[in-house]
Structure 1
Amino acid sequence: MGKYGITILFLNLFCALVSYSQVAPDCINAIPICNNTPINAGTNGFGVDDFNGASISGCITQATGTIETNSAWYRFRSGETGQLGFNIGFDSNEDWDFALYKTDDCSALGEPVRCNYFDNSDDSSYIGVGEDPTGIDNIQYDDWLNVTPGEDYLLLINNYSNNNSGFSIQFSGNIFIAYPNSALDCNIIDNLLGPPIIACENQTVVLDATTVDALDYEWYLDAGTGYQRIPGESDPELSIAVSGMYRVLVVRPLGNNLISETQVAYAPSPETFELEDETACLDGTAIDFNAKDVEALGGQSSIEFRVSYHESFEDAFDGANALSKEFIPTEVLQTIYVRTTSIENSMCFDASETFEINGIELPDLNFDTNVFVCGDAPIATIGQENPDSNFTYEWSSGQTSSLITVAEAGIYTLSVTNTQGLIQCVTIRSVTVVFSSPPIISDITIEYEDDASNIVRVFLEEDGDFEFQVDNDTPQNSGVFNNLFPGEHTITVRDANGCGLDTRDIVVVGFPKFFTPNGDNVNDTWKVDGLSALDNPVITIYDRFGKLLHQLNENSSGWNGAFNGLLLPESDYWFKLSYTNSLGQKTNASYINNHFTLKR
């Protein structure tokens, strides 16, 4: 929002007057502000250095020799307890800063309690304390002040860019809702006619110059061309309805006449126009209230007025708890209360209009989104068990009932539509169907890299979502196990969806892939390591025709490659392993019918 919405009222009427009467470049001459004081001014340089050569005060830093560049000073005193803020409005192309000091002593300012020194790179139209009046999230705003009666403040407004077309000050906060006439203490202004007044259009303001020994009263108005006598006005009170600078001359018997002046400014009073009702799906989709602003304003300028939306008339009247402009309806029927407010004076508003939001309900879909079926002839029934006759149902597979039966695995999506007039509200829910069958181990291989390394591979009849486990170790997704310790092991394969399991017992030992019985004391014998981990192990060695050649037990020193005293030729030989299992049964080790090589 640019400067025009902020300053149009004052600058058009009082440019020559306000620019001088409401600017004090020195702290000692700070302009007093009270409740209805309209502040609209500009800056042009500074007088004395109020910071005595300091290079920094809070966030304000030295620019060209002094902290101040083009400065204006104001003072105010809190009259009640509550939340207080202010908005400093200006042209968005300009760079303004402020510092607020909690003191009435210009010689002992201390550190500011609120401060802004941003460069306005985001082209904001406001800086201040509290909340930007346009409703945007403005980084150039400090936290609200929480004040109590009698606290004095000095406000420095500084223009850094040397390019300024004026600024305005508007106070805000819930303290002005609770105490509209006493939020700021007007006793700091000593003037017969009282402090300057800002009023709303069509509101009558009465200026009272009553003086006990007065002989006569002369009233004058300056509407921008100098003071002119108001004909026929000679009473102690003057009722006015136009903006201007007003002066009264009080004629007294001894010639000690009084002259008093004050400013009265009227802010435009908005009108809220009728708004159309809205129909929306209750699916979390937001209604853009920014589009409703055009209806509410009905041709009025968005630069002069802003529109807010509320859940109750009380909130709309107080300007409190404004709803987000991206409003998400949650009720079948909801009344929205509309407030149109003058940006220049928040006390000028209209909260007379409402509109309805008709929410279209969506079904509560609560069926399972994951279905697992275990069996050889899979079939599954999925979907919503209790359909609503007011809704239509359609599956991604083409069926139009709320509940369907499927015989293939996959993802099935149900769209449910509630149609109201031209609006269709759709809710969607998907279910993943998985058909599972128990795993069946078809084979296990044990590969020996050497006498200490091995690879165990588990093969299944069909693929599936399975997990593999050796003994009581942590399950894994792969059917490959590396370097199992020698001894008896149990391999378990489970269906991840709880559809059964299969187990096999294996024996892992260690043996060399070849030996060289040539009398050099290196690999002269072949033996199996790890037999001590088994109960009554026996190794039986065969040639490739199945002829029994030799037997070894856990205490044997190994086979030297001879049969009945004769040296056997180079070739591959096979072995089997038998042992007593954990049930006390003599058994042959499965998956261990392996071979090795005799080399000479």
Structure 2
Amino acid sequence: MRKILFFCVVLFFQIGFAQNPNDCNNAILLCGDTDLGINPSGIGTDEFAQPGNLTPTCFNFQTDQVWFRVEMETTGSFRFALTPDTPQADYDFAVFGPVTDCNNLGAAIRCSSTNPAAAGVTGETGLNDTEVDTTEGPGQLGNGFLQELSVNAGEVYYIIVGLAIGQGGFSLSTSGSADLPPSPTANPITDLDVCDDFGLQDGFREFDFTPLDADVLLGQTGVSVTYHESLNDANIGVNALTFPYVNTSNPQEIFVRAIRNDSDCTDFTEFVLTVDDTNVLTDADPTIICSDNTTESFDFATIIDTLVANSANFNITYHFTAADAENNLNPQGSSFIATLIEETYYIKVIDPTGLSCEYAISAPLFVANPPAIGVPADLFLCDDDFDGFLNVTLSTQNTGILNGLDPSLHEVRFYASNTDRTMNQNALGANFINTQNPQPVFVRVTETRTSCFSDTDFNITIRPRPVLAPQEDIIVCVDAAASTRLSVESGFDFYDWSTGESGATLNEIAINQPGSYTVRVTNNFGCESALTIVALASDIAVIDDIVTQDFRNGDNTAQFIVSGPGDYEFSVDNGAFQDSNFFDGLYKGFHTVRIRDKNGCGTLTQEFVVLDYQRFFTPNADGFHDYWTLDGLNTFPTAVIYIYDRNAKLLFQMSPEGPGWDGTYLNNPLPSSTYWFTLQIPNKPLVKGHFALKR
């Protein structure tokens, strides 16, 4: 028996072809020495739904599958080995027979569904002459191989192969002593190397391969020949080429199928089809002569080396028409007159050795005038940060430069030097910071269709802004009689204040209210600077409260709680001013506080009282300490004062506005002793104390 190899050379084959081998009725016939290329795809008809076909016990084969038909020519043994393209892809198989057709397959006589990965074996499977088991699997059982078949001449067997796990195709080889039906021979075809059709040299042209049939058969009879674009199509006999046929790639492999007319045995060969001159430039880019003239003479010989590689090795002629070039008629000199209207001329190229195909190049030619651009105005721009350098948007010049030309058809580029423009290098970006002042800018406008250009240039001058010295915040006294003056540097062309005041000499204004005041100053270049001056409010203080600590025997205190927009300092009884609002060491009686705004917006003066009492008195009519009293008590007219002896006997109720107590009870002098008092002032704590009467 001769060896049969199945090569997986395509990645799929379509369900629905007339000869779809995933059905038993379309099983591929195994013949002598035949190459096949296939990948199992689809399950086709479920043959095991028929009463005469028993589902294999090892696997149900409802997966991508392919069927084979084996017709035995002689008696002997039959073996095969299936090797997956992908290692450990799980291919299972079952063998049926001997049978007469696909309707009565009966039970499988061989069945293998070992999982290579689970069983720890390779993906190779089939029949061999060493195994004795006829079934194995599923899962880990077995090594993939079963016992070979003993066959008789004339018997027919069917093999189903299913891809249980994994992907990719497989190769299959047969062996044993039994012979299979003979295959036809598809004799080798010499690769075809042909010239392209005249005209468009694109590497594609029409073909008729039927004259090659005789070379394929070499005298064989009863064999038909078809041509295909893939080995898969050739294997299953679909999509045969019809003629005339145009190649779909270059180079392209064509597969030839030879099939016996009395059986399905086939053989295959292939050849490579190459169409010359796929890289020949047959449609040259237009030659454009940029000129201010309407006509120019042009010699194609000056550019022939760019159109034809190694042009000196070819016979080259020039023609007015494609027909003249095709037929080698009316050759012209290489020089032609170009006008503003595009004309196409034709260059015929012939290899005198005959090794290369002849062809013609279409070569358009015309004159293009440079774009008529405008002269841009120089840019005079105001500096933004007083350093003489500025980020300039150059595209603002485009309108003046293009002068009405369509911007979609013209490219404007800017350069910092004429050398850069000439070399077309270092084009400036859309935003450019000048490197000198003034800064020359060189411009090139290129028409995109023709690449013709015109040049111009302009200058950028960065002008200085007015320099205004920053100012500290100032103070404005609220409701002051005199106005406060704001001023900035003089000598500029115009001043515009946020108050609405403006003028050529108005560098100073008067204000009466606090706030932020902004002035915009314009110099003789028309450049502006702005300065904001903050006027802070200040005013005389308002006393919100005077908090005193009384009855501390000469160490009384006072704290002044004030409000107002100013910054204040404090003085008591004409003492030195201090920032603190707290004073101690105050004696009883009346005092004067002065609260002064440090910003000069006025001083508040107010009297206040500190309450305290005498620790003793001497009512001896000498004019000194004859009465016990509390200085300043008259400022609290509703105060109530009671005086007691040491036995808590009420001796006297003293009036806040009276002279005090004279040391008598019912007009009788009381003896020297210690006496007690209580003082109740509304909204203040009750005060208790004692004092001495001395005689």
TM over 0.5: no
- TM-score for both structures, normalised by structure 2: 0.32
| Greater Rg by CA | 2
RCO higher in structure (CA 8 A, sep ≥6): 1
- TM-score for both structures, normalised by structure 1: 0.36
